[in-house]
Amino acid sequence: MTTDAVERDVRRSASQWAFIQRVATIDKTDFTIKLRLAIDVECFVQVYVNTSKQLTSYTLVLNRSRIFGRDCEGGQWHRHPAGAPDMHDFSPEGQRAVSLDEFLREVQQILQEQGLL
């Protein structure tokens, strides 16, 4: 998949979620792309993809700190759980592959539980 295709897919997915205010492409090369999906001034989802290294990272950031995330490196997924975002969760649930839409569903639930949506 090209970075152009990743960018298109991220923008399409983000447009389906009312809590995403805007999407900005932060950095883009032939093999890497970083996008920011703004929720509010202090909260956003960062999407990073390196197409040559099979690396995908979805991160929920609040007040400049990761509060939840899911990463895939070389086809292996792990989770940074809400409540313990520095931990690497390799449980069956942590290793489950997720699409951006699934991740945004998890983000919505976390933000609602914390009274941020």
Q: pTM above 0.75?
A: yes
- The CA distance from 39 to 84, in Å, is 21
| The pLDDT of residue 1 | 87
CA distance 112 to 117: 5
Query: What local confidence, expressed as pLDDT, does residue 57 receive?
Result: 98
Question: What is the C-alpha separation between 64 and 35, in angstroms, rounded?
Answer: 15
Q: What is the largest CA-CA distance in the chain?
A: 39
**If the chain, 117 residues long, is cut into consecutive pieces of 10 residues, what is the mean pLDDT of each piece?**
95 97 97 97 97 95 97 95 94 96 97 90
* Predicted pLDDT of residue 39: 97
Tokens 């298109």 correspond to what residue?
Answer: 8
Domain assignments of the chain as residue spans, ordered by start: 3-113
